[in-house]
Amino acid sequence: MEKGNVYFSDNGYQELTDYLKNNQNFSKIFVLVDSNTSEHCLPPFLQKVGILKDYELIEIEPGEDNKNIHTVVGIWDTLTELGADRKSLLINLGGGVLTDMGGFVASTFKRGMKFINVPTSLLSMVDASTGGKTGIDLGNLKNQIGVFSLPEMVIVSSEFLSTLEARQMRSGLAEMIKHGLIADKYHWDRLNDLDNLDLSSLDSLIKQSVTVKIKVVTEDPTEQGLRKILNFGHTIGHAVETFYMDTDKMLFHGEAIAIGMIAEAYLSTLKTGFEMEDADKVKKVILEYFPKTEIPKEDFKAILDLTKHDKKNVSGVISFSLLEDIGSCAYDCYALPDEIEDALAYYME
Ligand code: GLY
């Protein structure tokens, strides 16, 4: 078994069962949940992994607001009180906030204990739980603190999605659309064929997105180059997400990335020769899934300022990953402040 492998559905539960059987020397096993996954996901999970009887449950509050150092300290304290050590295992059962934070906690506790991700949201299945990015927010700046650290394995089971609210589902869909746009035209074509998109095709679409992500992160695990393409839509998307964070226009991650992808498709036409006709198609398809968010012109400057915190930036130059074609993406592209504002205006047109 290779570290970081992703396994699906019943095969995944079998892999996890075998893993636990073959590694009985864990000093303790901890399961990290939030109050939602404790209620909706823990019972079916335990049923599938019958071998897991002797474990300690750690429950945290759900939501991005809690993805911070205070929650992390709380989990470290609880692990300490419950006698965790380097030979313990942490199983993260939850969405992207929980798997990012649980991975960070495990990777830093006593310089590192093993962890397994069991994502329960679409966003976490297709993106957050795989590839080894772990971390927390710093104030309102997203994922500013963290380490690259691979889980032992990731178990993806779409049965958890039956209790997920529609807005959360859509949030995950944005990252799937991104995977198609940056690296897999066929995946994009399937996703934008709205009439034929149903739950029965979801499993294979999830698998395809995970395949794109794994291919990229295997080539460039620590984002020295290629992995930056996974950030298409994220330079502007993260800035918009942060700007509206504690307002009544609060956006889910994928909703902000949808905006970012439209704006950055426009920037692509300026920087990589991406066809305007394709940018318009990207905009049309994304707006069919994601209703337009009103971004008044007077907010553009503040959003622009927030792009300066993007983790891809070096020496203060704002860096983008931009489409060259549908299914192909360049990285280390730079845009001027006026061009970024024009890109937001294109989204609003
Ligand atoms: N979410 C982007 C990455 O894992 O690199």
* Structure confidence by residue, pLDDT tens digits, 66-100: 999 999 999 999 999 999 999 999 999 999 999 99
Give the DSSP letter string of 300-318: HHHHHHHHTT-TT-BTTB-
Among the listed residues 253, 231, 232, 240, the one whose alpha carbon sits nearest the alpha carbon of residue 302: 240
What is the Å distance from ligand 1's center to 230 Cα?
5
- Whether 230 lines ligand 1, by a CB cut-off of 6 Å, is yes
Is residue 196's pLDDT more than 90?
no
- Whether 133 lines ligand 1, by a CB cut-off of 6 Å, is yes
239 contacts: CB under 8 Å, gap ≥ 6: 260, 303, 304, 306, 307, 309, 310
- Model pTM greater than 0.75? yes
How far, in Å, CA of 201 to CA of 158, rounded?
Answer: 11
Is residue 227's pLDDT more than 80?
yes
For residue 227, the ligand 1 atom closest to its alpha carbon is 5
What is the Å distance from ligand 1's center to 8 Cα?
20
- Whether 131 lines ligand 1, by a CB cut-off of 6 Å, is yes
How far, in Å, CA of 99 to CA of 223, rounded?
Answer: 19
What is the Å distance from ligand 1's center to 287 Cα?
23
- The alpha-carbon radius of gyration of the chain (Å, integer) is 20
Taking a C-beta distance cutoff of 8 angstroms, is the pair 179, 214 a contact?
no
Is residue 162's pLDDT more than 90?
no
In this structure, the residue with its CA closest to atom 5 of ligand 1 is: 230
- Which domains does the chain possess? 5-163 (3.40.50.1970), 166-348 (1.20.1090.10)
User: Burial level of 211, CB count in 10 A (0-12/13-18/19+)?
Assistant: middle
Task: Specify the pLDDT at position 315.
Answer: 73
